[in-house]
Amino acid sequence: MRPKIICTSPTFGKYSLKAVEMLENEGYELVRISMEDAKNPVKLINYVQDAQGWIVGFSKVTREVLENAPMLK
């Protein structure tokens, strides 16, 4: 299983795929999360629980979400 990075930024990789390709070449799985799911704390916690990275964008980062993200680096 590849390490997972979640992305709540709607523009990450939109104008250039270079950063996306770099992550994939390093063995990461990039999981894009819809803005709707990113705004829902329960759904967001489900995504971050096993993520090693999070490309945030405009999402609200709360204590509750971070406390449920033990693998984030």
Distance CA 1, CA 52 (A): 12
Domain residue extents for the chain: 4-67
The strands making up 51-55's β-sheet, listed across from edge to edge, are 29-32, 4-7, 51-55
Q: Is the pTM of this model over 0.85?
A: yes
pLDDT in tens, the chain (73 residues): 899 999 999 999 999 999 999 999 999 999 999 999 999 999 999 999 999 999 998 888 999 999 999 999 8
pLDDT of residue 65: 95
Strand partners, 29: 4
